[in-house]
Structure 1
Amino acid sequence: MSTPDLKPPQLGLDQNIAFQMASIIFRMEQDLRNFTLRKLDITYIHFRVLQYLHDEDGKNITEIARATAVRPAVLSRVVSQMEERALAVRKSDPQDNRSTRVYLTKLGRTKYAQAWPDAHKIIQNALEVLDQQERTALGVSLKKVAEHVCRV
């Protein structure tokens, strides 16, 4: 009786885009956390929620969780932390009193405004190896993949 070959098919790391994207995001997150977010006393997930609400204020936990790729139960705790730090506030949904919405506070907007310039520099630094056409193509491709992978 032969043993089945349990070795997975080989895919070099240079061809494994999931590995590459995770490595890139981890490094960029690490840089932002180490150089900026710690000084502002916010975490990376706080920053992501601040960033989303900056453009989409007044969303519910499910919408924020979907956009930030964080499980709703975890995000609910994160929002509670953000309320304790006066970065965000929950308010009843005027259309549905069973639901709540999350809004940035003035301090939340200020912290985001303080963190964004460094975040932008980190992004620009990562992309400086690409010409404008490549940056545009990357943006279009990533949006397309995100819409496919993150669809509900």
Structure 2
Amino acid sequence: MEHAEKTTRCPMWVKLLLGVSLALNLAVVGLVAGMVLRGGPLGGKGPVAMGYATPYVIALPRDLRRGVFNGIRRDKTLPDRKARRADYQAMVAALRATPLDTAAVEDLLRKQADAVTRVQARGQMAWLETVAGMTDTERAAYADRIEEVLRRGGHRKKGGQPKD
């Protein structure tokens, strides 16, 4: 007695779905590889692309860097996390409104830009207070670390100091 084996073929839609899935996976791999080869999401522009203060902050020793950030956090006139979240939620609601109220969106953007400017100004003052408290020798060593951060693109070694 022979057993008749029944063979079933894979439906065409499954083959198409697998092909599309493979194509999307290859596209993602290509994008990631391109970004890595180009130097990351900022295109190799390093800390300068993130903001002018970034190399100054990265070059600070960890304890002084924490002091700068604590100076910003202690300022109760600046928006806290809860206030920033409320602004984001207000923006989401404004964007969902029909019709779009561009004046409301513009007001929210202006409010957020003002908050960023105030935080930046407080951060600059905290940083300047920190630098002003350094000795001449410490300040010269700090300037050397800033140059190192700029040369290396902002990467730090463990412990918060720029890589040697």
TM-score (norm 2): 0.36
Higher relative contact order (CA 8 A, sep 6+): 2
Q: Which protein shows a greater Rg?
A: 2
Give the structure with the larger strand fraction: 1
